[in-house]
Chains A and B, each alone.
Chain A
């Protein structure tokens, strides 16, 4: 047996791969579900907090800044563990799936709030003044003038952060979520062969490459003619 054969036998074992492919695929579905939930709720919550913050109510802004800094400082894994093992003591027992969703959602909320806020504040004061001087309300100015410009600036950092955090769905393995990595590592220990892990890696690529490409498309779409 040549070295190459030994390598393929270990890492690209088609028999093992075929056997555990259904498990990995079900893991892909769980990952997609989890990632979509995290992205939609995390970004929506982050944008809501940034909009609330733009109202300029001091005590509220202190609270927002505190929450955001908290979730930006804590490692996501710690948040998952705290929610999964901590909430039962107050009578709530979220599943591993829900714990992971909530944790990553909070973390994405915190990071995206900062990114949205930076985008909103980077729009020149003159834009606000011009819009308000024509009679547009605060809300109309935000919606039609400020946010379109802010979004354009926030798309690159936002997509990076979103991709980083959705990959964090793999952390769900520690609380028994059967997503890609969870399925791959249990397949690995059942088969004494790391090929399912390669399959899992391939699944992540297939999942996230289109997201990266889509992000690039959105960036070009939001760029305006100069």
Chain B
């Protein structure tokens, strides 16, 4: 397939009087890792959430893996299986074990038997380095481990695209590395990824492209080196300056 795997055009989103996305275009090729940066309130998360229709765009089109996500005839639950999402606050199900978290959608959406789901679930936990924590509940895991279980929950469904919404922002600094490590290995396995994050070091090493968003629009985009070292816009320069001072 040569076309983009994610093709969003002219995406607008209003929350009441608030105009959060002002006609955003985003095309992502297969195996590409796109990084989205920008000040809080710039619409990065909303853009991500419009891609799997957790938010309903007010206007525009979103096509993922050839499926028109906004067509009312699209089976959205089926389509969402192809789009993994990882959240800032992990959002693991606290009443289930790590394995239970990973296998729920495998059993209920993908229709696997319990045995098949558990085999796939264990394999996914193995990939994030937590095979030995399968029987632990989220409350018994560190933040970094919880986020890795959340990643396993998504990749177990074998998505075509993974969306990361500030995956390390809620973590203690010493736990960030383990999550980035998992993301790096995902990247090496060829996963298409769209990452909203301020982990500049990771972006520099792993990203193919960096988008800078401000006030609901993409201000500029380019390879990480260009955006970080020679930003074309004053707003980008100011933002990157602020981030790097910390």
A-side interface residues toward B, CB under 8 Å? 124, 126-127, 129-137, 140, 144-145, 148-149, 152, 224-226
Given contacts A134-B154, A135-B81, whether A129 and B137 have CB atoms under 8 Å apart is no
| Cα(A49)–Cα(B198), bound, Å | 44
Specify the chain A residue showing the minimal Cβ separation from B102.
A134
Q: Given the complex, which residues of B lie within 8 Å of A136, measured CB to CB?
A: 77, 104-105, 108-109
Cβ of B74 within 8 Å of any chain A Cβ, yes or no, is: no
Q: Which residues of B contact A144 (CB under 8 A)?
A: 104, 108
Is there an interface contact between B95 and A224, defined as CB atoms closer than 8 Å? yes
Point out the residues of chain A lying under 8 angstroms from B81, CB to CB. Answer: 134-135
With A134-B104, A134-B105, A226-B139 known to touch, is A126 a contact of B54 (CB < 8 Å)? Answer: no
Residues of A within 8 A of B44 (CB): none
Mark B residues whose CB is within 8 Å of A. 52, 54, 77-81, 83-85, 87, 89, 91-95, 104-105, 108-110, 137, 139-140, 150, 153-154, 157
- The answer to whether A133 and B139 touch across the interface, beta carbons within 8 angstroms, is no
The residue that B92 contacts in the complex, of A130, A132, A133, with Cβ under 8 A, is A130
Contact of B157 (CB < 8 Å), options: A131, A132, A134: A134
How far, in whole Å, are A90 and B170 apart by their CA atoms in the complex? 62
Contact indicator A226/B93 (Cβ below 8 Å): no
Chain B residues with Cβ below 8 Å from A132 are 54, 77, 80
Q: A135 near B140 (CB under 8 angstroms)?
A: no
Chain B positions within 8 Å of A126 at CB level: 87, 89, 91
Neighbouring B residues of A137 by C-beta, 8 Å: 77
Closest beta carbon of chain A to B93's beta carbon, Å: 5
A130-B150 contact given A124-B91, A226-B137, CB 8 Å threshold: yes
Q: Are A133 and B83 in contact (CB under 8 A)?
A: yes
Contact of A135 among B80, B92, B93, B94 (CB under 8 A): B80
Q: Are B83 and A145 in contact (CB under 8 A)?
A: no
Between A and B, 25 residue pairs with Cβ closer than 8 Å are A126-B89, A129-B87, A129-B91, A130-B87, A130-B91, A130-B92, A130-B150, A131-B104, A133-B80, A133-B83, A134-B104, A134-B109, A134-B157, A135-B77, A135-B78, A135-B105, A136-B77, A136-B108, A140-B108, A144-B108, A149-B93, A152-B95, A224-B137, A225-B139, A226-B139
Roughly how many angstroms separate A224 CA and B83 CA in the complex, as a whole number?
30
A46 to chain B, nearest CB (A): 22
Q: Which residues of A contact B87 (CB under 8 A)?
A: 126, 129-130
Q: Known: A148-B95, A152-B95, A225-B140. Contact between A135 and B104, CB under 8 A?
A: no
CA distance A72 to B49 in the complex (A): 40
What is the chain B residue whose CB lies nearest that of A126?
B91
* Given A130-B87, A134-B104, A224-B94, 7 more pairs with CB closer than 8 A: A124-B91, A127-B91, A129-B85, A130-B91, A134-B80, A135-B80, A149-B93
